[in-house]
Amino acid sequence: MSKIKQIVTSLLIISGIFLLVDSIYTVNEVEQVIVTQFGKPVGDPIITASLKMKMPFIQEINPIDKRVLEWDGRPSDMPTKDKLYISVDLFARWRIIKPLQYFLRLRDERSAQSRLDDILGSETRNAVAKHELIEIIRTTKDRIPLRDSLLITDANKKLNMGSLVPINKGRKLVEKEIFSAASKKVLVFGIELLDIRFKRINYNASVRPKIYDRMISERRQIAERFLSEGNGEAARILGNRVRDLSKIQSEAYREVEQIRGIADAKATAIYSKAYNQNRKAIEFYVFTRTMQSYKYIIDKNTILVLSTESDLFKFLKGI
């Protein structure tokens, strides 16, 4: 009999311990708890970290994270107002501020992530469709982006690919529009949307080759412009060289002729001074000049027909 009592006592102790363990639970600092009885919430959510008790077997605890959670959407293709298809990748931060409402509407984080996919994706698509691509690319309307100086020319040249389309809002205001519209819709699920941002914006894969072709075309225009300017500069330099060479040659020829004229004048003056001293000097000058002329006009193949009274013939006649 005593043995049976020991067995029963042991069973009662074990059952008591099991019931005590099943009725005690802890709530830590990063979670909040909803207690349910047969699947329905019982009492208010427990949001403070503490040691709590519940009815064993009948009641269950449902922990809900109260930290800031992340939502990372998948890239989605959508059209802009100017009919350009882009791939948009978003991320957001959210937290649960009404755990009971969250539990009744969504139950778990997986359902919440799915609902955020629908709401944030829809609001992003609406916002992108209402704005042109430049509004989404540029951060704010006041930000002055860096521009390639090679694409900018003055007003007298045709190439002017560096001009930017004016914008009215910018990406930050577009993000605020998405945040404002989505935060109201997720609030009914007990969720507070903290922030939403564009992570990446890219052209759709189908239009990307066309964009690359356009970039190549623009660079070719720049190369052709440089080639044209280079050829024009080369022609200008060559023209200046020919002009300067002609100027140098003409100035040198003029200087040579001036020197030659001065030399001839000086030589004539010397001759005149030398041969005009008396009558014999003059006759000797005439004789020497005539003899010099014979050397140039008379050779063995030359036939001269001269008058006997010719001044050129008089020295030949006297020989």
- Residue-wise pLDDT for 271-314, tens only, equals 777 777 777 777 777 778 777 777 777 777 777 777 767 766 67
Of residues 193 and 2, more confidence is placed in 193
pTM: 0.58
Question: Cα dist. 108→21, 105, 167, 190, 314 in Å?
Answer: 25, 9, 42, 12, 142
Spatial CA neighbour of 106 closest among 97, 115, 95 = 115
Phi, psi of 229 (to 5 degrees): -65, -35
Please, are residues 218 and 150 in contact by the beta-carbon 8 Å criterion? no
CA distance 184 to 179: 9
Kindly tell me the burial class for residue 38, based on how many C-beta atoms sit within 10 Å of its own C-beta (0-12, 13-18, 19 or more). Answer: exposed
For residue 141, what pLDDT band results from cuts at 50, 70 and 90? low
Confidence at residue 15, expressed as pLDDT on a 0 to 100 scale: 66
CA distance 207 to 308: 107
CA distance 188 to 32: 19
CA distance 188 to 184: 7
Structural tokens at position 121: 């994706």
Write down the H helix ranges in 64-207: 99-105, 109-129, 133-137, 171-186
Confidence at residue 278, expressed as pLDDT on a 0 to 100 scale: 77
Of residues 104 and 4, more confidence is placed in 104
CA distance 192 to 5: 58
Percent of the chain whose pLDDT exceeds 90: 28
Beta strands in the chain (DSSP E): 24-27, 31-37, 40-41, 50-53, 59-65, 69-72, 76-79, 85-96, 191-203
Q: What is the mean pLDDT of residues 188-205?
A: 89
For residue 238, what pLDDT band results from cuts at 50, 70 and 90? very high
Please, are residues 123 and 181 in contact by the beta-carbon 8 Å criterion? yes
Q: What is the DSSP letter of 79?
A: E
